[in-house]
Structure 1
């Protein structure tokens, strides 16, 4: 008889994989549909457990416990960044860890409160909360629901492309700017100086004008915790530094009764776990939170997608962008229902999970169990956490967001990319995180349009000893065909570069007429790189054809693909050019020109 295991009172043969489990339920349960198809569609996270090996269990359990050791103090600190009580950070991680396990395609990504989304939350809510803590908490939960809704709608519309809205230099600059905002926001917590203001400039001004209230014991404790975190990260990166540092700080405060010297602690932690529910806020507040929700969704998903892709590539599998977008939406809905705030992924916790050998999201389930145990059995320890230690932990996390090595790599590659990165840093620091998101997207889009608007172009010729036709600028010995200009424009054709195409093509004809040794009779536009076109671009192509016709130059096109041909037909350009002047390859275009040249030869 095959071995069995009991799951929730049902004995399941161990020879079955997770893929076989749906067959244990009656067909009527699945509404007549194939059970595997239903589960794969609505719970794609279960696929990772198909063929789960017992040898993986130890790695997943160890990874889960280790990640929880980092997670507990970290999310408490991020809750304070969001302007909420530290315990809300733990509430905000409960639902996401469970939901993401069932819905995601990434096996290593760690979801939950994260520094950037926490700061975005604070910036969005501060003007609306009017100093009312209960109102602030309700708005935070509603914001999480809105972020979830934005992500889910985007997933339905298959807008996983949102992950590509932030170029690498812009994302690096954005994270560095966010780090500066985070550090400024913690100045009061690590110094004891009362700091007010929403912008970084206002916070720095407030800090400087009230330096006479500096509390040295608080600063010494914060500096000790921050130094310990940096040393542990340098010398013992596998040690759970955040947990160790905060626990040591808590022990020191308790043993030496440092509260009597003005050292502040977290304070009372509510008993138990939050009861699911929806917060009641006015529709005007909901409307005011829509734009921040979109910004948080874009930044959160960009971070999620980049991190998930990196670890998937490292572990030999692929992630599905739209599935991840839907999973992020569901995790934020779960965070909102449990009275949390918007969540994303944590690169540091994901790195830890991978380093500890996590093979599936079972490690997140183990981490969830650990957080529940802390909430239910360690409230007194959490209440004794020094606020200065949590502030130091936030600064430590912020410093890790500043990737100096990546700035150097960007500078070595191209100075314009460095300008983009530094411009984003300045935009975030000057305008704030929410507007910084918009500026970051605008800079990425501007950089893309700049490259498309002034794309590389080439006149093609034959190179002795090389097959095919090549850019004559790349090979000094290249020879264009006398009387024939074959011109290539290396970008999709659109409104941004239509005039540049027209100008560049005529300049190529003029150059060939001056240096080619004989008059230009044919112009062939090589459109192998121009599958995508718009109306403005085709207007420019038609104008180019008309200008060349006025100079008695035949206009033709080569490498015309089916999609482009459909656009040419719809525009009417096929008829204007003549179907016989649309060539599938460059050799056929050259052969047609040679034949026409032969006909025109005066010797015939």
Structure 2
């Protein structure tokens, strides 16, 4: 019992308890590859965030160890992420106002806040938020962030400094900036690109980014290229991270609360897309709520080790899977290797050219760009295409943080629109007596004298008015074609919880229909509806709203009632007999 609870709390322990020796070779091979890819990327993302290179390494070690214990994905690798770092830099840079120590402290504070938001979400079982930001919105967001990063790195590649903050202003000043190109810096960037793609061509499985950066650092060291004003990352304070309490104005920290919430949302959704895809590929499931907790603990661990916010790293996860990684042991081994570099081998890092890191960031960001997928949406789903495009332009034109806020709001509005204005159908019977939607195919026809309605969303106070309007509009159209004496509502999809506004709306509909001599029947959720009606003192039965177990029984009893209460003419008798014949073939 205790062991099961421990496994429930730390899913990774269960994997290690059942570890098979045959997995070890693949896990070690994958860990070496992951560490080789993670090292240069972590240093580059530290530069993007605006902190020391060693901080990027610290941001890998503890988070990877923590996720290995608390995460439910066997392949996912957590660590610095392009979108995450871009968000942090956009928030923290103006608040720090050039103070490097405050910048670092604000980065850690925002990371802790992000972690706590994730833990709160996990506590309240909000893993469903993985589906909150739709794929089109996330596509637009990542494309916009990638373009923003790429343009921002041009200053390192060409050797100038941007005076403007926003993308459009930077692009408008491109001719002036390009005229300021520092030739030695640009040549170093070109050399890095050449080495990267030559390595990719000759040795596709080797870590091309690390090799290109290492060659650049070696050239700086051998030929003292500093004398040509080629910028390098400079002194790297290695060793074990020391805990420090941030010292800054609480008012500034307050500015980080909502950006941290946005960051938690985007990081989690992005991570879940990666985790789910590799889980499906390898034949297992992941727990979204536990993933929220694992991400929160990983971010808190990163902050405690002086690092910055982390998320699921899709490129490193892909490397892990491609090299046959089987379990979370890959993360542990890779974290140990990175820790060794961070503590003992930081001296060579100071010779790494900033231009080379800029190239690595551009290459990593290019992989996030997928305009083709957005364009395909135009043909498949025009609404999704507009959502993706709106998010993309928002990030480009108004900035990363406002763009992310807009993306979250778009996700919320999309959800509310789906719930408040859902699809609905008028139902009828086909030739086999099966209830189905009446559409242009003529496979189903309306039951004479009966209007059957289905509303495809839970009814609540903010869509009850729309429900009432749609029901009466569609009822009126059918009633014009043929008189209707009974309205039936499929209660299964729409009556999911008690809402007093909905109950009041039903009373209004029943009163309107009764004045026209039409009865109102709710079909499905019988016990639940009767209980709600009793709580709200609503009338059930012939004198009020009729409740039946399902639509088939409601139709059967309605036809029986007509047969018992009317003196049929030859024509009406034939109609009644035909309806009963159809219903006799249906599923009751």
- State the TM-score, normalized to the length of structure 2: 0.91
Q: Which residue of 1 aligns with 2:311?
A: 344
Q: Which residue of 2 aligns with 1:4?
A: none
CA–CA distance in structure 1, aligned partners of residues 31 and 102 of structure 2: 34
Cα offset for 1:156? 1.6
Q: Residues 43 and 479 from structure 1, CA distance in 2 versus in 1: closer, same or farther, beyond 3 angstroms?
A: closer
CA–CA distance in structure 2, aligned partners of residues 561 and 348 of structure 1: 52
Q: Residues 579 and 57 from structure 1, CA distance in 2 versus in 1: closer, same or farther, beyond 3 angstroms?
A: farther
Residue 488 of structure 2 aligns to a residue whose secondary structure is strand
CA–CA distance in structure 2, aligned partners of residues 299 and 428 of structure 1: 13
Q: Residues 330 and 523 from structure 1, CA distance in 2 versus in 1: closer, same or farther, beyond 3 angstroms?
A: same
Q: How does 1:185-334 map to 2 (within 5 A)?
A: 185-205=152-172, 208-226=175-193, 228-229=195-196, 237-334=204-301
Say if 1:532 and 1:564, in contact at 8 Å, map to a contact too.
Answer: no
Residue 304 of structure 1 aligns to a residue whose secondary structure is helix
CA–CA distance in structure 2, aligned partners of residues 261 and 333 of structure 1: 41
Cα offset for 1:576? 8.0
Paired residue for 1:55, among 15, 18, 22?
22
Cα offset for 1:577? 7.4
Say if 2:58 and 2:305, in contact at 8 Å, map to a contact too.
Answer: yes
Check if 1:487 corresponds to 2:469: no
Give the aligned length: 568
Q: Which residue of 2 aligns with 1:550?
A: 515
Q: Which residue of 1 aligns with 2:489?
A: 525
Q: Residues 401 and 577 from structure 1, CA distance in 2 versus in 1: closer, same or farther, beyond 3 angstroms?
A: farther
Say if 2:520 and 2:545, in contact at 8 Å, map to a contact too.
Answer: no
The more displaced of 252-261 and 328-337 is: 252-261
Q: Residues 562 and 62 from structure 1, CA distance in 2 versus in 1: closer, same or farther, beyond 3 angstroms?
A: farther
Residue 525 of structure 1 aligns to a residue whose secondary structure is strand
Q: Which residue of 2 aligns with 1:72?
A: 39
CA–CA distance in structure 2, aligned partners of residues 152 and 135 of structure 1: 26
Q: Which residue of 2 aligns with 1:31?
A: none
Q: Which residue of 2 aligns with 1:592?
A: 557
Q: Which residue of 2 aligns with 1:7?
A: none
Say if 1:526 and 1:559, in contact at 8 Å, map to a contact too.
Answer: yes
CA–CA distance in structure 2, aligned partners of residues 71 and 376 of structure 1: 16
Say if 1:278 and 1:336, in contact at 8 Å, map to a contact too.
Answer: no
CA–CA distance in structure 1, aligned partners of residues 332 and 443 of structure 2: 65
Cα offset for 1:579? 7.7
Q: How does 1:92-107 map to 2 (within 5 A)?
A: 92-107=59-74
CA–CA distance in structure 2, aligned partners of residues 53 and 397 of structure 1: 34
Q: Which residue of 2 aligns with 1:355?
A: 322
Q: Which runs of 5+ in 2 are unaligned?
A: 570-588
Residue 557 of structure 1 aligns to a residue whose secondary structure is strand
Q: Which runs of 5+ in 1 are unaligned?
A: 1-33
CA deviation string 1:23-66 (max 9, x = no partner)? xxxxxxxxxxx531452244332111122111111111111110
Check if 1:364 corresponds to 2:322: no
CA deviation string 1:289-330 (max 9, x = no partner)? 111111111111111222112111111111111111111111
Check if 1:153 corresponds to 2:117: no
Q: Which residue of 2 aligns with 1:108?
A: 75
Q: Which residue of 2 aligns with 1:512?
A: 478
Cα offset for 1:70? 0.5
CA–CA distance in structure 2, aligned partners of residues 61 and 205 of structure 1: 49
Residue 125 of structure 2 aligns to a residue whose secondary structure is coil
Cα offset for 1:599? 3.4
Check if 1:163 corresponds to 2:130: yes
Check if 1:373 corresponds to 2:340: yes
CA–CA distance in structure 1, aligned partners of residues 348 and 415 of structure 2: 51
CA deviation string 1:170-190 (max 9, x = no partner)? 011111111122112212111
Cα offset for 1:585? 1.5
Cα offset for 1:368? 1.2
CA deviation string 1:464-518 (max 9, x = no partner)? 1x352111215314222111111112222234432332222222222222223xx
Q: How does 1:124-143 map to 2 (within 5 A)?
A: 124-143=91-110
CA–CA distance in structure 1, aligned partners of residues 543 and 461 of structure 2: 24
Q: Residues 509 and 52 from structure 1, CA distance in 2 versus in 1: closer, same or farther, beyond 3 angstroms?
A: same
Cα offset for 1:548? 1.1
CA–CA distance in structure 1, aligned partners of residues 186 and 309 of structure 2: 30
Cα offset for 1:133? 0.5
CA RMSD of aligned residues (A): 2.3
Residue 436 of structure 2 aligns to a residue whose secondary structure is strand
Say if 1:195 and 1:207, in contact at 8 Å, map to a contact too.
Answer: no
Say if 1:527 and 1:557, in contact at 8 Å, map to a contact too.
Answer: yes
Cα offset for 1:235? 7.8
CA deviation string 1:421-460 (max 9, x = no partner)? 0000011122222222221111122222323333222222
Say if 1:188 and 1:207, in contact at 8 Å, map to a contact too.
Answer: no
Say if 1:88 and 1:340, in contact at 8 Å, map to a contact too.
Answer: yes
Residue 179 of structure 2 aligns to a residue whose secondary structure is helix
Q: Residues 58 and 578 from structure 1, CA distance in 2 versus in 1: closer, same or farther, beyond 3 angstroms?
A: farther
Q: Residues 597 and 227 from structure 1, CA distance in 2 versus in 1: closer, same or farther, beyond 3 angstroms?
A: farther
CA–CA distance in structure 2, aligned partners of residues 574 and 263 of structure 1: 84
Residue 196 of structure 1 aligns to a residue whose secondary structure is coil
Q: Which residue of 2 aligns with 1:20?
A: none
The more displaced of 403-412 and 70-79 is: 403-412
Say if 2:540 and 2:546, in contact at 8 Å, map to a contact too.
Answer: no
CA deviation string 1:544-578 (max 9, x = no partner)? 22221121111111123555554444444454876
Check if 1:470 corresponds to 2:441: no
Say if 1:278 and 1:337, in contact at 8 Å, map to a contact too.
Answer: no
